Amino acid sequence: MEKRFITQASINRWLTKIVNDGKHLYAPVKKGDRVDFGRATSADDIVFDHIQTTQSAKSVAFPRTDVLFSYEKEKGKVQLENADLTAYPETVVFGLHPCDAAGFNPLGAIFNWDYKDEIYNARLQRTVVVTLACTKADEYCFCTSVNGGPGNTAGSDIQLTPVKDGFLAEILTEKGEALMKADEAAFEADRGDVKEEFLVKLPEKFDVKAVQEKLQTAFESPIWKAQSQRCIGCGACAYVCPTCACFDIQEDAHGTKGKRLRCWDSCGFALFTLHTSGHNPRQTQAQRWRQRLLHKFSYMPDRLSVRGCTGCGRCSRACPVDMNLSEHLSSI
Amino acid sequence: MEELRKKAAELLQSGEVQMVIGYEEGTRHPRPCFISSADDAAKLIYDDRCTGNLAVYLTHKELIGGQKIAITASYFALRSILRLLTEHQIQLDKLVVLTVSAEKEVIQFATTDDITAYLQTAPVPAREDDKALIEKLNAMSPAERWEFWSAELSKCFKCYACRAACPMCYCTKCIVEENRPQWIQPWASTLANIEWHINRAMHMTGRCADCGACGAACPLGLPIHLLSHQIVQEVTDNFALDVNQAVSGDNALSTFKPEDKENFIR
Amino acid sequence: MSEFEPKIVAFVCNWCTYAGADLTGTSRIKYASNVKIVRFPCTGRIDFMLLLKAFAEGADGIIVSGCHPNDCHYTSGNFHARRRWVIFRGLLNFMGIDVNRIQFSWVSAAEGAKWADVVNSTVTAVRELGPYTQYRKAADYLAQQDQSIIDGQEAMIIK
């Protein structure tokens, strides 16, 4: 790993170079009174001082609607055409916080559990992740409680930390190094800034190991019903989550030809587990809420050795009825 | 606030109701809470920040069961309650409807006429931001409005928080889940989203309380409540129906008048 | 724009307008061939989604036509439809969807000439408006995806 220093002006120059090289740049941009990821038209559009974007950055590798393959039936024969993995754009996702970058690890674990998902892998392979370490947090943030942190470098190719008069740049991977080389002159020598001094201090809100331990025997606990009473069963929490990977398969059919699509889905929906017979193994919102928590904090650690939560707090910010995840976890 | 807590505790203590649906302090804003014991009544709050429409819970069968419920209803929730009664989704004898007036007085309604009378005299909570945006939209050309709405709705990722937050969206099977035929494409993309929001608004005709819960619930902050607001406007303007008269009034789309407007028909 | 021939879909009721259109033919009145007629039992059956689907699948204009008020075969289907169209037009206009591309009319079984006139004038009006590409563009989710993976926002294009 290499450390460098870069000024705001040089970042803008570097990003302009990247864009001019034909790469797609996604970064936090203003959308109304919110900040969310969007395709940045220039470095000036990028917001640097946001606490959290509305959505996570997962869609660079797992978009909300993705074509798996297309088909055409002609004279009794079916022609199949797989999604063109080479057609995905070279992408730079810039300015995401460490909790978002950390999300690619659990996502990748799910998409490579037994079947290797070529589409997810190809998209991620063409993506360079440049994170912005956090100098502030709000009451929803809890990365430090789930083994993350405001300066966590997991999943990042380059991490920038705002320091005095510029940014400390940590070049973490070969991909990151290649991206730096797009305009290496923009990066000055390291000034010896101590990263930790600039990071926000975020106390732990709960002991995740203890939570995981409790969840082992909590399946029949009345707490799920109590916690989920106000849940109205929408999918907002899952859709903004950087690690939620559930999807639905849909068919965009037009007569003899069509496309098969993968679209986001959520375990909070009653329809999610509804069988054709009419039976629904998760009939109540309490069961669905239990599934959401157990999946993230018990099943995934058990089966995939990763946790399905990076502490970004988006689910709690997005929830129309304030289902605050860290509060609920603390109260188990 | 104290008066409300006292009232709730009394209702629970006397066994008149088994649960009180109200608001408690949340992370940043008040959130719904469900109180089954008089000891918890101290959690209850009610002030101007309590705008979420709690009537949405009245049709949640797993929450309500056969219980008799008291609800602290905001102005718009009262309208929703009238509408839910009209549509036979709830029963008045299983319900104690409470509100807190602008003068901080706790009111318990005995009849639907009382609710209507209250709605007609109490001030309608103002929503200045919406008013400004509606004026801006109405001043636009149709092409500009299309630009606005297709850009806004293209962002929708179909989490259906708008539907979940709406007291009138109680169908056990929603039109978007219908796939024979598949009226609305279930994936998120501009037209598929526009179709969904047109359907949602159309299905609100004559039913919408104009509470804005759909827009408030949207995690992306899309102003989708303006669509149902427009429907309310159209119903009021064209059919002279009063949203506060839901119980005795006509249903907008299942009734008609021979003299209804038809200046757009050749 | 002179080569542009608009595609018009007409949703009509079985009892009045469909019979009226039949009369246009048997009376040998010539009218524009741009229209494709879809027959329904009643205007009350014509779901607003059918209109949206027609636009998405390539229609440039739409005609919805049925029995005159008080002439409905089912007594009140057209009255209910009329209410629905009032609301629907208001919503479409608020969203900037071009209501001038939708012509509503009452054409009875005796009005063969009126049917020809409704079709001809609609074709002329829509020809002037041009193809309804802006609506169809919204249907192309793949193009949007290439523009932006994150939110399908088409407006953002790198300089």
* Phi, psi values for residue A239, rounded to 5°: -75, -30
Better pLDDT: A174 or B250: A174
Going across the sheet that includes B19-24, the strands are B31-35, B19-24, B69-72, B95-100, B106-109
Beta-carbon contacts of residue B207 (< 8 Å; ≥ 6 apart)? B83, B87, B168, B252
A92–chain C Cβ distance below 8 A for any pair: no
What is the average per-residue pLDDT within B71-94? 95
Among B87-91, B239-243, C79-83, whose mean pLDDT is lowest? Answer: B239-243
Beta-carbon contacts of residue C35 (< 8 Å; ≥ 6 apart)? C8, C9, C10, C63, C119, C122, C123
Q: How far is CA A257 from the centre of its chain?
A: 33
pLDDT of residue B243: 84
Q: How many CB pairs under 8 A join A and B?
A: 99
Among A10-24, A29-43, B251-265, whose mean pLDDT is lowest? Answer: A29-43
Interface confidence, given as ipTM, is 0.92
Beta-carbon contacts of residue A14 (< 8 Å; ≥ 6 apart)? A6, A182, A183, A186, A187
Domain around A37: 2-330
pTM, entire model: 0.93
For A47-104, what is each residue's pLDDT tens digit? 999 999 999 999 999 999 999 999 999 988 999 999 999 989 999 999 999 999 999 9
What's the gap in Å between the CA of C158 and the closest CA on chain A?
Answer: 5
A301–chain C Cβ distance below 8 A for any pair: no
For C22-41, what is each residue's pLDDT tens digit? 999 999 999 999 999 999 99
What's the gap in Å between the CA of C87 and the closest CA on chain B?
Answer: 6
Q: Do B164 and A232 touch (CB under 8 A)?
A: yes
pLDDT of residue B246: 72
* Phi, psi values for residue C68, rounded to 5°: -60, 155
What is the average per-residue pLDDT within B210-234? 95
Strand-pair category, C61-66 with C8-13: parallel
Q: Do A64 and B31 touch (CB under 8 A)?
A: no
pLDDT of residue C2: 61
Residue numbers in A near C151 (CB within 8 A): 36-38, 55, 59
Q: How many CB pairs under 8 A join A and C?
A: 47
For A103-161, what is each residue's pLDDT tens digit? 999 999 999 999 999 999 999 999 999 999 999 999 999 999 999 999 999 999 999 99
Q: For residue A310, which amino acid is it? A: T
What's the gap in Å between the CA of B71 and the closest CA on chain C?
Answer: 32
Residue numbers in A near C141 (CB within 8 A): 65
pLDDT of residue C146: 46
Residue C158 has pLDDT above 70, yes or no: no
3-class SS of residue A133: coil
**Structurally, how many domains does chain A consist of?**
1
CA within 13 Å, CB half, A287: 10
C155–chain A Cβ distance below 8 A for any pair: no
Tokens of A128: 């360079």
| Confidence label for B247 from pLDDT (cuts 50, 70 and 90) | confident
Q: Do B33 and A322 touch (CB under 8 A)?
A: no
Q: Do A140 and B27 touch (CB under 8 A)?
A: yes
For C95-131, what is each residue's pLDDT tens digit? 999 999 999 999 999 999 999 999 999 999 999 999 9
Q: Which helix (H) or strand (E) covers residue A287, if one does? A: helix A285-294
Residue C156 has pLDDT above 70, yes or no: no
Q: Do C151 and A19 touch (CB under 8 A)?
A: no
Q: How far is CA A328 from the centre of its chain?
A: 21
For A6-29, what is each residue's pLDDT tens digit? 999 999 999 999 999 999 999 999
A124–chain C Cβ distance below 8 A for any pair: no
Probe site for chain B from C87, C148, C156 (most B CB atoms < 10 A): C87
Residue B46 has pLDDT above 90, yes or no: yes
Q: Do C141 and B191 touch (CB under 8 A)?
A: yes
pLDDT of residue C144: 58
Residue numbers in B near C92 (CB within 8 A): 198
Probe site for chain B from A31, A234, A267, A317 (most B CB atoms < 10 A): A234
Q: Are A98 and A104 in contact (CB under 8 A)?
A: no
Say how far apart CA B17 and CA B69 lie, in whole Å.
5
Tokens of A144: 């430090």
What's the gap in Å between the CA of B154 and the closest CA on chain C?
Answer: 6
Better pLDDT: B265 or A1: B265
Tokens of C95: 């969203």
For C56-71, what is each residue's pLDDT tens digit? 999 999 999 999 999 9
Q: Which of residues 56-95 of B touch A (CB under 8 A)?
A: 56-57, 60, 62-63
Q: What is the 3-state secondary structure (H, E, C) of B33-59?
A: EEECCHHHHHHCECCCCCCCCHHHHHH
Q: Do C104 and B183 touch (CB under 8 A)?
A: no
> CB count, 10 Å around CB of B41?
20
Residue ranges and CATH numbers for the domains of chain C are 8-131 (3.40.50.960)
pLDDT of residue C142: 59
What's the gap in Å between the CA of A100 and the closest CA on chain C?
Answer: 14
Q: Which residue has the tokens 């810039």?
A: A94
Provide the residue count of chain C.
159
Q: What is the 3-state secondary structure (H, E, C) of B197-254?
A: HHHHHHCCCCCCCCCCHHHHHCCCCCCCHHHHHHHHHHHHHHHCCCHHHCCCCCCCCC
Q: Do C158 and A24 touch (CB under 8 A)?
A: yes
pLDDT of residue C155: 31
Say how far apart CA A310 and CA A89 lie, in whole Å.
27
Say how far apart CA A311 and CA A241 lie, in whole Å.
10
Residue A230 has pLDDT above 90, yes or no: yes
Q: Which residue of A has its CA nearest to C140?
A: A252
Residue numbers in A near B43 (CB within 8 A): none
Q: Which residue has the tokens 């007291």?
A: B167
Q: Do A239 and B217 touch (CB under 8 A)?
A: no
Residue B9 has pLDDT above 60, yes or no: yes
Residue C148 has pLDDT above 70, yes or no: no
| Confidence label for A44 from pLDDT (cuts 50, 70 and 90) | confident
For A255-297, what is each residue's pLDDT tens digit? 899 999 999 999 999 999 999 999 999 999 999 999 999 999 9
Q: Which residue of B has its CA nearest to A140?
A: B27
Could you say which of C141, C151, C159 has the minimum Cβ distance to residue A38?
A: C151
Q: Do A41 and C157 touch (CB under 8 A)?
A: yes
State the DSSP string of chain C. -TT----EEEEEETTTHHHHHHHHHHTT----TTEEEEEES-GGG--HHHHHHHHHTT-SEEEEEEPPTT--TTSSHHHHHHHHHHHHHHHHHHHT--GGGEEEEE--TT-HHHHHHHHHHHHHHHHHH---HHHHHHH-HHHHHHH-TTT--TT----
Q: Which residue of A has its CA nearest to B33?
A: A230
Strands (E), B66-105: 69-72, 95-100
pLDDT of residue C47: 95
Residue C145 has pLDDT above 60, yes or no: no
Residue numbers in A near B63 (CB within 8 A): 229
Residue numbers in B near A266 (CB within 8 A): 159
What is the average per-residue pLDDT within B66-91? 95
Task: State the chains in contact with B (3 or more Cβ–Cβ pairs under 8 Å).
Answer: A, C
A230–chain C Cβ distance below 8 A for any pair: no
Say how far apart CA A75 and CA A84 lie, in whole Å.
25
pLDDT of residue C153: 37
pLDDT of residue C141: 65
Radius of gyration of chain A (CA): 21
A266–chain B Cβ distance below 8 A for any pair: yes
Residue numbers in C near A60 (CB within 8 A): 149-150
Q: Which of residues 49-78 of A touch C (CB under 8 A)?
A: 55, 59-60, 63-67
Q: Do B189 and C144 touch (CB under 8 A)?
A: yes
Among A309-323, B99-113, B163-177, C140-154, whose mean pLDDT is lowest? Answer: C140-154
